[in-house]
Structure formats: C-alpha cells, structure tokens
Amino acid sequence: MRLLNAAPRSPARLAPERVIADALIDVASELRLTDAAELINLIRNDEAANLADLVNSSTELFFKGGTLRYALSASYSVPWNAPPVVSLDMEFRHQRVSAFFRLTIGEKRTRVDIADIVFDERALDEPAKGRRLTEAFASARVRA
C-alpha cells in the first residue's frame, strides 16, 4: 500500500495520513478481495447498510469492534483507460482520538485524505498528536 501524493500536502498533514494509511494496509487488501463491480453497484444503488456490512466485515478482522467504521458516504471513478477506484468515508474512534478520513482504493494503491482529527487533550503539540494517533491505531488492532 502506498500513499499517493497527487496534490501537494503540508508536512503537518502528511505524517497523520501516513500513520492512517499504514494502519489500514490489511483493511485495504481485504476490501480489494471484493469485486470492484460489486462495490460500485452498492454505491450506485445507495445501499449504505450493505456497504457498511461489507466494510465492517473487512475491518473487524484487524480492528476492535466499533473503532473503525464506514461513515455512510462513498464514491467511485470508472475511467475508460484505467482500473476503477472506490472512495469510502471512514471514522476511527479509540483512546480519546477521533479521525475522519476518506480511504481511496485503487487496483494497487491506496490513499488517505484526512477531513479532521480530534484529540480530547487540548494542549498537544504536533509531535504529541502524531504519537497519540499512532498509539491509538496500534491499540485498536486485534491481536493475533
């Protein structure tokens, strides 16, 4: 899984996006096992509950229940000259950290675009926020 850099990003945003992208490698790989046409069909037909079930079944293999979930918004792109791309809005909540982001899955690459990250602690500097985010994702993982 690689973090795409299609648009310039500030260094403050790149580090959290990389943390989340790295944490979701397994989830993205699991979602790629679903036929792209099926994902697109669920999005086109506004079958949010079915799409949520599919995404949740992929996330529950790797994350504790309720920590990572589909945020009921998705889109897709099906260009003539390239494989389809599916984008899913996601929410992560664990250890007083909430992250809202878009997970974009292509044939071989995955991208994370952060909408917002909220920390319960107010006085955290950027390095502390990065550590808290990394720790929250690590702690939310299901242990094998």
Per-residue pLDDT tens for 45-77? 999 999 999 999 999 999 999 999 999 999 999
pLDDT-based confidence at residue 88 (cuts at 50, 70, 90):
very high
pLDDT value at residue 6: 40
Per-residue pLDDT tens for 96-130? 999 999 999 999 899 999 999 999 988 899 999 99
pLDDT value at residue 122: 84
Q: Which of 15, 28, 34 shows the shortest CA–CA distance to 99? A: 15
Mean pLDDT, the chain, as a whole number?
A: 90
Token code pair at residue 121: 């602690």
pLDDT value at residue 14: 56
Which one-letter DSSP state was computed for residue 75? E
Judged against a pLDDT cut of 60, whether residue 91 lies above it is answered with yes
- Those residues whose C-beta lies under 8 Å from the C-beta of residue 120, and which sit 6 or more positions away, are 96, 97
Higher per-residue confidence, 10 vs 80: 80
Judged against a pLDDT cut of 80, whether residue 2 lies above it is answered with no
Token code pair at residue 28: 């993205």
pLDDT value at residue 144: 64
Judged against a pLDDT cut of 80, whether residue 16 lies above it is answered with yes
Which one-letter DSSP state was computed for residue 73? E
Judged against a pLDDT cut of 70, whether residue 10 lies above it is answered with no
The H or E element spanning position 21 is helix 11-23
Backbone φ, ψ for residue 100 (5° rounding): -120, 120
Average pLDDT for residues 84-93, to the nearest whole number? 98
